[in-house]
Structure 1
Amino acid sequence: MSEDRRRLLRAMFDAAVAAADPARVVPAHLPAPPRGRSLVIGAGKASAAMARALEEHWQGGPLEGLVVTRYGHAVPCRQIEIVEAAHPVPDEAGRAAAARILEMVRGLGPDDLVIALVSGGASSLLALPAPGLTLEDKQAVNRALLRSGANINEMNCVRKHLSAIKGGRLAAAAHPARLVALMISDVPGDDPSVIGSGPTVPDPTSFADALAILHKYGITEPAAAIRHLEQAAEETPKPGDPRLASAETVMIATPQGALEAAAAIARAAGYEPLILGDAIEGEAREVARVMAGIARQVVRHGQPAPRPCALLSGGETTVTVRGGGRGGRNVEFLLGLAVELGGLDGVSAVAGDTDGVDGAEEVAGAFVLPDTLARAAALGVDAKASLAENDGHGFFEALGDQLVTGPTLTNVNDFRAILIEG
């Protein structure tokens, strides 16, 4: 029975990922070829796969360009150059690629077309510090934000205002060329100004907002970054900026679409799917507590759905790392869920990042089964102690319950499914 549950949970996760496969979602959204040049740029964990899909289905003239993706996520392209760089903390390869991309779009005319391929991870991969800042300054801020518990909107607000390319600056540099951004959303609410820190769309946030976020989380270093935000020398392009008037955004894959694909798998297997939300945020262990409460309500009272059912959700939780573990929001969620459920019979779960990487680990997530706590105890692994240490990766590794996919070449944020037997 446990293996049947695991297979169904894995099939649901795989369906969610497949719904955002660039080979499936890019071709229908390609713009008409221009009279002038066709330039392809982009960044993100899915950007190389998006570039390949574009090349394979492009009906216009020659293509040229450059996209930057995460190490291990490259795929071969014939005309578009693919560069790999670091994520989630940027490196020199990402900085150099961002500088080249910004230079490529300058000097274009109104007959030229820029196709921007933007997906989750673009913010770290397209790392070009604002004048007066260094890559080391950006790395330090990124690390501090990742450990602080800040949500993706907050992190990207800060990143925009420390950047020479994000927050609409890339689109402004491409003016007066036509720009079409094809986006795969990895953020709650699918806000294009948040995906990849919005390099091609107007930025509604300000330097003051970014500074307030650092103050909120007690981040006071590096001094150069704080000083840059305080000086607020040149704001990002705002809504209504004429330089962005010809920029178009097309959302080609979303977390909601991934949840609906997984729901179809659950329904075919005899489970009534209940989508709880595609934009759920908060501390991973607190979200786990809420989800465990819903699961118990189903078991005891048949609400908000009768058994058998599947509770599905997406979004991006956070982990404030206080222990000595490696973090990882999906494994932290699952470990918290297992502790809250206490081995409740008939309840199983999967959670994973649809890009195949939970936090900084090359592991997508993990599985929880009714016997998870019992098997851990038999191995001498204390679930509550592991949770206190933020060591979900270590916990599920010891049990052999990790979800390992390798790079999926897409990213529509986290996927969570809780199966409740009849």
Structure 2
Amino acid sequence: MLVKNYDDLTAHGNIEGRKLVLNIIDAGLRAADPYPNIRKMVRIEEGKLLVGHQSYAVRDTVNVELPLIFDLSQVGNVYLFGGGKAVQRMAQAVEDSLGDLITDGQINAKKEDILRCKKVNVTFAGHPIPDKDSVDGAKRKHEIESKVKKGDLVFYFTSGGGSATLTWPAPGLTLEDIQEVTRRLYFEKGASMPEKNRVLSKLRMPRTGKTISGAPLIYIASSETPSGSTTHHRRFPSTDAIDILKTYELWDKVPPSVRSHLKKTHTDPRYDAYKTPIHSLFYYDPIYRFRVMGPEYMLEGAKKQAEELGLEAHILCSSLNDIEASNIGQTLAGIALEVEHQSRPFKPPCVLIFGGEPTVSIGQAKGKGGRNQEFVLATAPWIYGSEKIVVAACDCDGTDGPTDIAGGVVDGYTMKRAEEAGLDLYEELNNHNSYEALTKLQDTIYTGVLGQNLRSLFIVYIKK
């Protein structure tokens, strides 16, 4: 069981329902691990390195004959690079396949993760707000990447979290500038992750313009967006950094150095961090692209477990993003009550499942929490008194917002328990203080950092 405080969470409230929900959460989180899929597509057979599987090929790689076959006697150095919350686990899979064939590399993982890699250096960096380790790791990555030459082979991993863990300020900017923009845009205003990244990508070191030819790049992604998704889930249509800051009324509030930099560079193609490989200062030729993980794996894993427990399971949405978490919580609570009392749109017993990345706009509030904690706490007043509804939410990477917990669980007894504990949940929600409230109620989900990243998993259970 990945939920380390399972016994505490199932010692009060709707115990039967909590056990069901936490088992479903556990199955979904386990299905989000990218390691098995990478081991499937990277292997050595009879002195040959086989890379790729048609199930994971994306973009132009779908037209390439797979697996790619490399004669190990002809391969020069082998490098591993990447940054993000899932990349260390991904690099670990390649390390376990290739062993001493790996020459060097640099992986930037999220702080609090455990050390998984043995062949390449790992820097634990700040997320969601970058820190000095983010910068140091990004510089070390570039230093090693500068050594890549024709005949070498590069494995490049990417997942959510790369923008923060591989931060390297552009000339004329400081780490403090980027931290300030992150705090204002993402936390104070509740901007979406794509919007934040579009701005921060313009504040990073520009690409050198150099293309490394003859060193095949194996680009392996753990994607936060569902397979086949064509939307970036932006709340506003612009991808221009200046437009985004103005939309959130931040243009006059960000540091003057940021405004000056963006005026000069916001149309400069060297600052497009979204070119493959993302967060690299180089281009590569050739590039082979693979997507080994996405939210559909997590959601289907949860659904399968629910069905094995004898429940009807319905995946409502793979990627519900950029909407306030409390609004989603209230809406889902209303649907759960409709199911409980009217048996529509689904008949109980059933489980409603969805994924995504809602937002929490904290403004000037001083509370502590995250989108998963805020979501579940927002449902509690609505399901007050229900003996049949349990709601849980969990961040796939094991940490929700700037906290050390993954999420939380509530039920129809939560409001009464809060009143008995002297907690005003309405006040806690207004102050975005879900962490403190759920901690006092012993309703936080704790998993530790999991080394994976598919956004969040939300579960609503309604008993017959």
TM-score normalised per structure 2: 0.82
CA distance in 2, matches of 1:70, 1:217: 28
Q: Is the 8 A contact 1:108 1:176 kept in 2?
A: no
Corresponding residue for 1:324? 366
Deviation at 1:247, TM superposition (A): 2.5
Q: After superposing the two structures, state which structure 1 stretch, 361-370 or 332-341, moved more.
A: 332-341
Structure 2 partner of 1:200: none
- The match for 1:198 is none
Which residue number corresponds to residue 10 of structure 1?
22
Structure of greater Rg: 2
Tell me what 1:182 maps to: 220
Following the alignment from structure 2 to structure 1, what is the Cα–Cα distance between the partners of residues 24 and 171?
46
Equivalent-residue separation in structure 1 for 2:369 and 2:227 (angstroms)? 24
Relative to structure 1, the CA distance from residue 110 to residue 302 in structure 2 (aligned partners, 3 Å threshold; closer, same or farther) is farther
SS at match of 2:117: coil
**Structure 2 residue aligned with 1:228:** 261
Cα distance in 1, alignment partners of residues 405 and 276 from structure 2: 42
- Matching residue within 240, 245, 268 for 1:214: 245
Q: Cα gap change, 1:77/1:367 in structure 2, threshold over 3 Å: closer, same or farther? A: same
Instruction: Tell me if 1:94 matches 2:134.
Output: yes
Shift of the 189–155 alpha-carbon distance from structure 1 to 2, 3 Å rule, reads farther
The answer on whether the counterparts of 2:203 and 2:258 sit within 8 Å (CA) in structure 1 is yes
Is 1:21 paired with 2:33?
yes
> What corresponds to 1:345 in structure 2?
387
| Cα distance in 2 for residues equivalent to 1:362 and 1:378 | 26
Mapped contact 2:17–2:389 kept (Cα < 8 A): no
The question of whether the paired residues in 2 share the 8 Å contact of 1:106 and 1:173 is answered with no
Contact 2:28-2:302 within 8 A present in 1 as well: yes
Q: 1:239 to 1:84 in 2, by over 3 A?
A: closer
Give 1 or 2: higher helix fraction.
Answer: 1
What is the DSSP-based 3-state SS (H/G/I as helix, E as strand, rest coil) of the residue aligned with 1:257? helix
Contact 1:74 1:83 in 2 (8 A): no
SS of 1:9's partner is helix
Q: Deviations 1:12-58 (Å, cap 9, x if unpaired)?
A: 11111111223323212332547232110011122222222211112
Question: Are 1:70 and 1:86, in contact at CA under 8 Å, matched by a contact in 2?
Answer: yes
Partner of 2:302: 262
The residue identity in structure 2 corresponding to 1:297 is E
Equivalent pairs: percent with the same residue? 30
Letter in 2 for 1:151: S
Question: Alpha-carbon deviation of 1:133?
Answer: 1.3
The alpha-carbon distance between structure 1 residues 324 and 185, as it changes in their structure 2 partners (threshold 3 A), is: same
Tell me by how many angstroms 1:407 deviates: 1.0
- Cα deviation, 1:274-307, whole Å, max 9, x if unaligned, reads 0011110210011112212221221233222211
Secondary structure of the structure 1 residue equivalent to 2:380: helix
Q: Contact between 1:29 and 1:250, CA under 8 Å: does it hold in 2? A: no
Alpha-carbon deviation of 1:93? 1.2
List per-residue Cα deviations over 1:203-253 (Å, max 9, x = no partner).
Answer: xx99x7111111111223111112211112632458799945632321111
The alignment partner of 2:300 has SS state of helix
C-alpha contact 1:74 1:82 (8 A) present in aligned 2:
no
Judge which range, 359-368 or 243-252, deviates more.
243-252
How well do the aligned residues superpose, as a CA RMSD in angstroms? 2.7
Cα deviation for residue 4 of structure 1 reads 2.4
TM-score, scaled to structure 1: 0.89
Q: Deviations over 1:113-156 (max 9, x none)?
A: 21112122111000011222111111111111221110111011
Q: Figure out how many residues of one structure are paired with residues of the other and give that number.
A: 409
Code of the aligned partner of 2:245:
L
